[in-house]
Amino acid sequence: MSFSPLTIALLLLATLLLYDQATYIRKKGKIAGPSFKMWPIIGPFLESMDPKFEEYKAKWDSGKLSCVSVFHKFVVIASDRDLARKILSAPRYVKPCVVDVAIKILRPTNWVFLDGKAHVDYRRGLNGLFTRKALVKYLPEQEKIYNEYFKMFLELSENEAVPFMHTFREFMCAISLRTFCGEYITKDQIKLISDNYFRITEALELVNFPIILPFTKPWYGRKIADMTMDIFANCAALSRKEMVSGKPPTCTLDFWILGMLHSQGKISDEQFQAIDGVSNVTIREFTNKEISETLFTFLFASQDATSSATTWLFQILADRPDVFAKIREEQIAVRDGDLNKPLTIEMVDSMKYTHMAVKECLRYRPPVIMVPYVAKQDFPITDDYTVPKGSMIIPSTYPALHDPEVYDNPDEYIPERWVDGSKASLNTKNWLVFGTGPHVCIGQNYVMINLVGMIGKAVLEMDWEHTVTDKSEDVRVFATIFPDDDCILKFRPSKLVSSA
């Protein structure tokens, strides 16, 4: 008996389709998810090109563990708080998962690709950059950026309300760049990077072509990433010169370089201890290139998340004059009658209500709704389900942060739920905004100081109105989450400060 080429081709195709469905059904086991792949091979690929928040929600509601399969990738989604925590704290079984092109954009030597002990050791060397003592030193440069951008907000919306989401992204980018590189980075370089950063976010979207072809999103993304890292390496070289000459540290780079000089014995213990803000962490020698790659990961980790938080904060405060008024009252009180007083860490510490308002914004609209990991080996996550090796496994933060058992009326914005001793503040296990475990966000204290100091000053110095549209409360997923109408605002100077 002989078969025509067409029959053979059809037989092969049928075998492939059967194999694909059988593999999916075996991996799925008893967890929630479609009983078979509705779209053979590709699965819900088209939906994942344009992910909708409501679709994620439906997935979380479908079960504590649910699954989906896109091409050959089997993805397990954990919506339950304890399962999410279990994944984030299981470095033996999982490691963070980055999209395929990330290695080309962030460069293969980047520390984000380290795992296990190598990751822990590297991270230990970075801790000195985010201590309270160091964060204090970053505040003056940050405040200069607040002043610059608040002026811009007023000018941009002088005649009419305009969408602010993109301006907030630039604002956050400028703050990060000044915090990391101080005065070594020029205004033009800040403008260049912040204007183009969205190219990097686009290049690293969950679904993108893994090969870098000219003029595609990953191609543009890599160009901007390379340019940014070159600028960082240049700043590192400048910081080396300044730190050797004894200039006081003002930015992340300075603290890094000082730590290295101390570890190498180039600065004596006495000289080192006398420098305000440094921490005694032993740091090996890093090249400027290595430093530039790491600073780039800080920018990458920070940019989308802080922009999301800032956008929601400005929107929510415009919609909630009661909260706005309480923040303003507190901001006046912490300045002891001098409304132009420069920000200090002690002032930020005493902004208790502003802190609660920011914390509630991060809970109500968590910038990072899920954190993709990959199973390095079969992972027996529950008594009756083992995540197969090689699967993507995604702990979600949103359901834990909207758990009605811990947060009454979880879909309402209520800063008061964070008063000391409250149910919300005692249930720290649900606070997954910054993740948990060995990869927990290294910048979380910096984030709180920056957001509290920034929004407090904004409330003091400006009034703003939100043009509410039927999309204002719709959540758009673009790496993090944003209001779907890009947050349309109009700013004007507050009478308080103009008359101060």
Contacts with ligand HEM by CB under 6 A lie at 88, 96, 123, 297-298, 301-302, 305-306, 309, 367-368, 371, 433-437, 439-443, 446-447
Query: Do the annotations mark residue 441 as ligand-binding?
Result: yes
> Three-state SS for 394?
strand
What does the DSSP 8-state code read for residue 494?
Answer: -
Which one, 219 or 398, has the nearer CB to ligand HEM?
Answer: 398
Q: Cα–Cα distance between 112 and 95 in angstroms, integer?
A: 10
Tell me how far, at minimum, the Cβ of 451 lies from ligand HEM, in Å.
7
**Could you tell me if 89 and 97 are in contact, meaning their C-beta atoms sit under 8 angstroms apart?**
no
Q: Cα–Cα distance between 61 and 468 in angstroms, integer?
A: 29
**Could you tell me if 53 and 476 are in contact, meaning their C-beta atoms sit under 8 angstroms apart?**
yes
Which one, 77 or 267, has the nearer CB to ligand HEM?
Answer: 77
Instruction: Determine phi and psi for 475, rounding to 5 degrees.
Output: -100, 120
**Could you tell me if 60 and 79 are in contact, meaning their C-beta atoms sit under 8 angstroms apart?**
yes
Tell me how far, at minimum, the Cβ of 179 lies from ligand HEM, in Å.
7
- What residues are paired with 78 via a beta bridge? 65, 395
- What residues are paired with 77 via a beta bridge? 66, 394
**Could you tell me if 25 and 36 are in contact, meaning their C-beta atoms sit under 8 angstroms apart?**
yes
| Residue recorded with tokens 């708080």 | 81
Q: Cα–Cα distance between 378 and 46 in angstroms, integer?
A: 28
Tell me how far, at minimum, the Cβ of 88 lies from ligand HEM, in Å.
4
Tell me how far, at minimum, the Cβ of 444 lies from ligand HEM, in Å.
7
Which one, 66 or 306, has the nearer CB to ligand HEM?
Answer: 306
Nearest Cα neighbor of 477 from 56, 5, 29, 6 is: 56
Tell me how far, at minimum, the Cβ of 437 lies from ligand HEM, in Å.
5
Residue nearest to ligand HEM (CB): 435
> Three-state SS for 160?
coil
Which one, 359 or 490, has the nearer CB to ligand HEM?
Answer: 359
Tell me how far, at minimum, the Cβ of 292 lies from ligand HEM, in Å.
15
| Residue recorded with tokens 């984000």 | 112
Residue positions in the annotated binding site for heme?
441
Residue positions in the annotated binding site?
441
